[in-house]
Structure 1
Amino acid sequence: MKPVQKVGLVLGIAAFFVPFIVDIPNLDAPGERMLAIFLLAIVFWVTEAVPLTATAVLVILLEVLLVAQGALWDPTGGNPELIEAALPASTYFAALANPVIILFLGGFMIADGAEKYGLDKNITAVMLKPFAGSARSTVLGLMLITGILSAFMSNTATTATMFAVVIPILSSIKDPKARAGVALAIPLAANVGGIATPVGTPPNAIAIGALSTQGIDVSFAHWTMMAAPFAIVILVASWMLICLLFIPRGQTIDLEVEADWNMTNKAKIFYAVAALTIILWMTEPVHGISSNTVGFIPVALLLCLRVMDGEDVKKLDWPVLWLVSGGIALGTGVGATGLDAWLVNSIGWHALGGVGVIVVLCMVGLGFANVMSHSAAANLLVPLAISLSVALPGTNTMMIAVVVAIATSLGMSLPISTPPNAIAYSTGMVSVKNMAIVGVIVGIVATLLLALAMPPLWNIMGLV
């Protein structure tokens, strides 16, 4: 265990007991217990004193033991006015099977199938051909393909796939600066591309799940209409920045990437099921089938048709699903126990105004996401953002949850910020300095654009 993890373990446990020892002004007993859980989660997620997934399931367990109906001791203290603060334990356990988890499960199934049958690499090979020749155009092609794949696959899997294709290309580039630019383009595009759809990255699912507890349903198509244009703008702007800093005019790259399609019956069935799922996701307003329900279609079909089996199910990214579940449960507890109102009233948010609150939360999200897991940052900030939107007049709940979730996906200035960055750094072609320069510039500019320009644009488009 690293020193920071040891310190985090001690601090987390100490923070947990503070609300039990110190009477918190204007906070009832259920809220004090939830504050204890909230503080523990903050410290453990920031320091990774225990694995992120372990903290997520610990949150659910502590909520059941301390603030749910049938807790170890009555969280209401016998006060009938607080009876609504104690939700059934099943409500917290239900976070593990929240419809958003099912949506993500379908996304993971398609992503793993794409890797199993080589669909990801073949799509890359086909789409790269028009961008051959100029190094700048090749980088644009790599970023667009990475962004598209990352919108439907895990950012980490997309980055690993792209580097498997690109490593031979990188070795042919003589200029180390240009080589670094090409290598940097992939994790940057993977992080930004994940913003575009609900299944692109866990913070998106955390926001959608938290909104669903408020009775606000965000469809696959609705999220995509809000986030995809922003992601495209940031991708293009990031490409221009990388070209300016790393890729000189006249630099060329030789591409020798060929598609090798798997044409077995199982592969063909997978292609058809994946296409059907994506089409149904994008046309939800037409057919009316929930995107969460659609997400379960590939799971059932691929298993029943024996295209994928139990071994494939084992390989799914279950820790991420549990991490998202912990965030949903945390938001449920914060709202039910009155901790959300206390957090809102304890800080002078009203003085900032609606725009100020959005900017501050987005910048905090960006800062957190540079030094901790994007999912953990979203787990902590999205429930708070939703609570603020309810308390502050004129603030749209859906809008603020979406912008905060997206902001946590923009933290990418260090190798530890996100797995795609770590993969790029491990190639030895990217320095921390270069990663930090690009990550800070893109992160700050994109976050300000997100906070200041996107909400009024969404309002004009009738999306919020």
Structure 2
Amino acid sequence: MPSGRLAQRLGLPLAALALVVPMVVDVPGLDEPGERMLGVFLMAIVLFVTEAIPLVATAVLIILLEVLLLSEQALVPLAEPVTSARDVWASLADPVIILFLGGFLIADGAAKYALDRNLAALILTPFRGSARAALLALMLMTAVLSMFMSNTATTATMFAVLLPVLGSLPSDAARTGFALAVPLAANVGGIGTPVGSPPNAIALAALGSQGQTVSFVGWMAAAVPLALLLLAVGWLFLAARFVPARTPLDLELTVKFRRTPPAVVFYLTASATVLLWLTEPLHGIPATTVGFLPVVVLLATQVMTGEDLRVLQWPVLWLVAGGIALGNGVGASGLDTWLVGLVDWGVLPATVLLLTLAGLAWGLSNVISNSATANLLIPIALPLALTVGQDVVTVALLVAIACSLAMMLPISTPPNAIAYATGTVRTPDMVVVGAVVGVLGVLLVAFVIPLWWRLLGIG
């Protein structure tokens, strides 16, 4: 997300300064590994916020610097390395990365074989003549696709289906409502599964480093009810504000599923993968292992090819890997304990602490990448939870979900940017809708949803 040319020009020198100063100035309470990691952490903050270099470049720089500063391969050796180069490099193939790799290949296959567009058209077709009903169907379909595809790919797909529909709407307000519905549903739907959004992957990886696991179905049980509630609120608000009752709608959508052998193999493989994810408690195969199944099957049958692999969202995978490495480095160096100890968090009531974390995650994600925000906050939030006696699973879920609910500005998420680029959405309208859904979501994850998680035995 661009944050201004001046910020980008200042980003590199400020990042270099942030990296070096903790290493040459004695930091009270930190030993040498902690000081080195503090430099890396501060550098990451500056680069993530200013985007002086691409986010993925910052992620891989974090990995390299941890090898060169904290491992047995450190340029200036430590008396006792806090990690190994092998462990740092392993963040590029963390099980969560494998899970997302499978999800991304399925998403790209859905686009290649037009499964996504046909499903969207199939769902919308029955709602001819009722704009409000079509709006609800559009949001539900977008949210479901976004649970298994990237938010960006889902939004692009839905707008390809929606653009002819927009032209049939009788007013600018109705067109605005439909255009806003897609990014809203894509962002909210992304919280529903572990593969729905990069912050979810970062949270899962951080929990894994703490010896905690959340199954695919467990995540859905925790997040889907919240997503459905926010979708309902979003639909009611959009309908009341932009789509009057009895607004006519003339839909002409073509549904034509491909029946070629490669398409059929893809349909079966994708269905089997999702089914195995949803039945993980029954068969016990981890979601990460299931996520590699479509990679093997689709490549072995040549339904997907090496060319398809080349166009996967590798920058997103590497961005998640950088977050995993950052979290591991913060923990291994003792920086997490030092940062948490800077404030007496114990004086805050538990609900205030949760609200603070959720509000901070939501606020930052409105102006910088939600992945970058999760990368920065989760490594600190989990040790903070342990320090004050909060459950780490609750805190990880809360921060990840709050990051994905930031959608007030065109720069907040790629889905927002795509909607804004259609020319049917004004920034003030996006701010209002994003604030209504986002603030409600933050309040729910801070005060209400953790009670639901405890009833489920999650956290």
Query: Does residue 43 of structure 2 align to residue 45 of structure 1?
Result: no
Aligned to 2:357: 361
Matched to 2:310, the amino acid is K
Aligned counterpart for 2:61 among listed residues 50, 58, 63: 58
Matches within 5 A, 1:155-170: 155-170=151-166
Q: Secondary structure at the match of 2:169?
A: coil
Residues of 2 paired with 1:381 and 1:234: CA distance?
A: 24
Query: Does residue 423 of structure 2 align to residue 420 of structure 1?
Result: no
Aligned to 1:253: 249
Query: Does residue 82 of structure 2 align to residue 86 of structure 1?
Result: yes
State the Cα RMSD in Å. Answer: 1.1
CA deviation string 1:216-257 (max 9, x = no partner): 122111111111111111111111111121111121211111
Aligned to 1:449: 444
Aligned to 1:231: 227
Aligned to 1:401: 396
Aligned counterpart for 2:76 among listed residues 44, 67, 73: 73
* TM-score with structure 2 setting the length: 0.98
Aligned to 2:93: 97
Matched to 1:169, the amino acid is V
Residues of 2 paired with 1:351 and 1:203: CA distance?
A: 28
Residues of 1 paired with 2:364 and 2:128: CA distance?
A: 38
Aligned to 1:4: 7
Aligned to 1:106: 102
Residues of 2 paired with 1:23 and 1:435: CA distance?
A: 46
Shift of 1:306: 0.8
Aligned counterpart for 2:427 among listed residues 432, 435, 449: 432
Aligned to 2:282: 286
Query: Does residue 264 of structure 2 align to residue 268 of structure 1?
Result: yes
Q: Secondary structure at the match of 2:36?
A: helix
Query: Does residue 38 of structure 2 align to residue 35 of structure 1?
Result: yes
Residues of 2 paired with 1:305 and 1:213: CA distance?
A: 35
Shift of 1:330: 0.4
Matches within 5 A, 1:363-378: 363-378=359-374
Residues of 1 paired with 2:358 and 2:124: CA distance?
A: 34
| Unaligned segments of structure 2, at least 5 residues | none
Residues of 1 paired with 2:404 and 2:222: CA distance?
A: 15
Matched to 1:447, the amino acid is V
Matches within 5 A, 1:116-135: 116-135=112-131
Residues of 1 paired with 2:343 and 2:132: CA distance?
A: 47
Residues of 1 paired with 2:327 and 2:458: CA distance?
A: 24
Query: Does residue 203 of structure 2 align to residue 207 of structure 1?
Result: yes
Aligned to 2:138: 142
Residues of 1 paired with 2:18 and 2:240: CA distance?
A: 47
Matched to 1:177, the amino acid is A
Matches within 5 A, 1:325-404: 325-393=321-389, 395-404=390-399
Note if contact 2:222-2:452 (Cα within 8 Å) is conserved in structure 1.
no
Count of matched residue pairs? 456
Q: Secondary structure at the match of 2:195?
A: coil
Q: Secondary structure at the match of 1:115?
A: helix
Shift of 1:354: 2.2
Residues of 1 paired with 2:15 and 2:447: CA distance?
A: 35
CA deviation string 1:59-97 (max 9, x = no partner): 00000101112311233xx3xxxx4x6111111110000
Residues of 2 paired with 1:390 and 1:68: CA distance?
A: 26
Residues of 2 paired with 1:34 and 1:354: CA distance?
A: 29
Q: Secondary structure at the match of 2:256?
A: coil
Shift of 1:307: 0.4
Shift of 1:171: 1.2
Aligned to 2:19: 16
Matched to 1:445, the amino acid is L
Matched to 2:284, the amino acid is G
CA deviation string 1:151-208 (max 9, x = no partner): 0000000000000001011012121111101100000000000100011111100100
| Unaligned segments of structure 1, at least 5 residues | none
Matched to 2:202, the amino acid is I
Q: Secondary structure at the match of 2:374?
A: helix
Shift of 1:461: 2.2
After the TM superposition, which of the residue ranges 101-110 and 235-244 deviates more from structure 2? 235-244
CA deviation string 1:296-318 (max 9, x = no partner): 00000000011010000001000
Residues of 1 paired with 2:134 and 2:321: CA distance?
A: 39
Note if contact 2:393-2:458 (Cα within 8 Å) is conserved in structure 1.
no
Identity of aligned residues (%): 53
Residues of 2 paired with 1:277 and 1:345: CA distance?
A: 44
CA deviation string 1:285-305 (max 9, x = no partner): 100101000000000000001
Residues of 1 paired with 2:203 and 2:69: CA distance?
A: 25
